[in-house]
């Protein structure tokens, strides 16, 4: 039991490193190169899987793989066939020889090396499973989508009857479950069912939650039986005021979400959860609220993570990128944006993490 606790702690520390690396893009080409990759194999393809929309599994984050080759699909294949299949095997073989030729090292921010030998039991299954296939969400944030996505009954049936049994096999050896941010895990009927089923087979699993925070309350967490299993929460907030929240997330739920975050903050104080991240995607509508957002993070003892808006094809905002992207030099609000970024509040490393591009602006 003690060992297990230690493992979770180590995993958490590694995750924190990944989180910060990824967020600050420490591993981006300009900030690093081979120095971030030493002669130790990377753990990721031995220990983690992520299931993407359509049931696709990659041996690592597809954005960091040169050929973006998928390792299989849980809609059509058994989990074991994928986890120990040719694509994973080939990559692991290379990693054992510290051959990173398949990695986009200039982009990868997730390299976690083994300290000692690669454990022999990796074939049994991943230590961490990340669920990213379910897009159902009660919101339609302007940066993400223009319609609320709800799974059709047919889709829910496929998720419940085809995906779920395979996820339950995959989770057999896992210590960590990540409910990733493709939709909201508490709104989706399937995701709620999936969480309950996972808890039956892995009652001690630790959970990282990505959510819009609307249902992140004690009732929901207790109903799902995960109130004592949460490692950390990442909540998209994107605003420091009710009005701006309403414009961006297109729902009047700022006060409700903050109330839920206050509960998480209380739980953090009590040692029930390890960390809270509140996300802020910067664009024309919200950039003036950035300093207030850090204050919010300070009050909640959370990390405010700032990233720049990226045009997603699925959102109308995509067409207005030039107008919205205040962090681009050609934007008419750029100078004012830079001035805001010079606010010393962004130096509060305990409560504020900036994406790489923003660090440079803040330091300019």
**Could you say which DSSP state residue 138 is in?**
S
Per rule CB under 6 A, is residue 248 in the interface with ligand SF4? no
Of 171, 200, 135, 203, the closest CA to residue 49 belongs to: 171
Of 162, 46, 165, the closest CA to residue 111 belongs to: 46
Cβ 132 to ligand SF4 shortest distance, Å: 11
Tell me the H-state helices in the chain.
2-24, 44-47, 79-83, 86-96, 153-158, 164-170, 189-201, 218-223, 242-249, 254-269, 290-300, 321-324, 334-341, 356-363
Of 103, 122, 141, the closest CA to residue 250 belongs to: 141
Given candidates 11, 56, 137, 224, which one binds ligand SF4 under the rule CB under 6 A?
A: 137
Per rule CB under 6 A, is residue 234 in the interface with ligand SF4? no
Taking CA atoms, 19 is separated from 12, 218, 314, in Å, by 10, 26, 26
The two three-digit tokens of residue 343, written as one number: 């606010």
For residue 236, the cross-strand partners are 279
Given candidates 12, 100, 318, 334, which one binds ligand SF4 under the rule CB under 6 A?
A: 100
Binding part of the chain for ligand SF4, among 105-113, 198-206, 227-235, 289-297 by CB under 6 A, reads 105-113
d(CA 121, CA 126): 10
Given candidates 49, 60, 237, 324, which one binds ligand SF4 under the rule CB under 6 A?
A: 60
For residue 161, the cross-strand partners are none
DSSP secondary structure string for all residues of 47-101: HEEEEPGGGEE-SS-GGGBSS----EETTTS-HHHHHTSHHHHHHHHHHHTT--T
Per rule CB under 6 A, is residue 181 in the interface with ligand SF4? yes
Given candidates 72, 125, 183, 356, which one binds ligand SF4 under the rule CB under 6 A?
A: 183
Per rule CB under 6 A, is residue 64 in the interface with ligand SF4? yes
Cβ 273 to ligand SF4 shortest distance, Å: 20
- Mask for 19-48, x = binds ligand SF4 (CB under 6 A): -----------------------x-xx---
Total of chain residues touching ligand SF4, rule CB under 6 A: 21
Cβ 236 to ligand SF4 shortest distance, Å: 5
Binding part of the chain for ligand SF4, among 107-115, 166-174, 191-199, 296-304 by CB under 6 A, reads 107-115
Binding part of the chain for ligand SF4, among 102-110, 122-130, 150-158, 282-290 by CB under 6 A, reads 102-110
Per rule CB under 6 A, is residue 108 in the interface with ligand SF4? yes
C-beta separation of 268 from 233 below 8 A? no
Per rule CB under 6 A, is residue 144 in the interface with ligand SF4? yes
Binding part of the chain for ligand SF4, among 77-85, 103-111, 255-263, 282-290 by CB under 6 A, reads 103-111
Cβ 25 to ligand SF4 shortest distance, Å: 13
**Main-chain phi, psi angles of 314, to 5 degrees:** -80, -5
Per rule CB under 6 A, is residue 145 in the interface with ligand SF4? yes
**Main-chain phi, psi angles of 231, to 5 degrees:** -85, -50
Give contact residues for ligand SF4 (rule: CB under 6 A): 42, 44-45, 60, 64, 100, 103, 108, 110-111, 137, 139-141, 144-145, 181, 183-184, 212, 236
């Amino acid at each position: 039991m003690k060992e297990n606790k230690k493992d979770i702690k180590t995993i958490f520390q590694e995750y924190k490193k990944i989180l910060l690396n990824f967020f600050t893009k420490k591993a981006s080409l300009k900030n690093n190169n081979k120095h971030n990759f030493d002669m130790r194999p990377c753990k990721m393809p031995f220990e983690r899987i992520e299931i993407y929309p359509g049931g696709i599994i990659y041996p690592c984050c597809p954005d960091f793989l040169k050929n973006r080759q998928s390792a299989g699909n849980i809609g059509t294949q058994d989990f074991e066939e994928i986890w120990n299949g040719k694509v994973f095997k080939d990559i692991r073989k290379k990693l054992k020889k510290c051959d990173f030729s398949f990695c986009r090292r200039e982009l990868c921010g997730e390299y976690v090396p083994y300290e000692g030998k690669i454990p022999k039991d990796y074939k049994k299954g991943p230590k961490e499973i990340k669920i990213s296939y379910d897009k159902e969400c009660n919101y339609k944030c302007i940066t993400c989508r223009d319609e609320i996505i709800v799974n059709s009954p047919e889709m829910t049936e496929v998720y419940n009857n085809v995906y779920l049994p395979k996820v339950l096999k995959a989770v057999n050896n896992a210590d960590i479950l990540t409910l990733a941010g493709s939709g909201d895990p508490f709104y989706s009927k399937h995701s709620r069912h999936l969480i309950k089923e996972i808890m039956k087979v892995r009652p001690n699993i630790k959970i990282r939650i990505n959510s819009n925070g609307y249902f992140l309350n004690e009732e929901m967490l207790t109903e799902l039986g995960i109130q004592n299993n949460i490692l950390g929460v990442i909540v998209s907030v994107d605003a420091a005021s009710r009005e701006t929240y309403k414009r961006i997330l297109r729902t009047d739920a700022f006060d409700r979400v903050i109330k839920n975050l206050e509960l998480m903050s209380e739980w953090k104080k009590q040692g029930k959860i390890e960390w809270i991240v509140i996300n802020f995607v910067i664009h024309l509508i919200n950039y003036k609220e950035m300093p207030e957002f850090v204050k919010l993070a300070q009050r909640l003892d959370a990390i405010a993570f700032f990233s720049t808006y990226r045009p997603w094809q699925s959102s109308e905002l995509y067409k207005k990128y030039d107008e919205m992207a205040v962090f681009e030099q050609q934007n008419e609000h750029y100078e004012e944006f830079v001035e805001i970024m010079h606010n010393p509040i962004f130096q509060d490393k305990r409560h504020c993490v900036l994406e790489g591009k923003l660090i440079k602006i803040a330091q300019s």
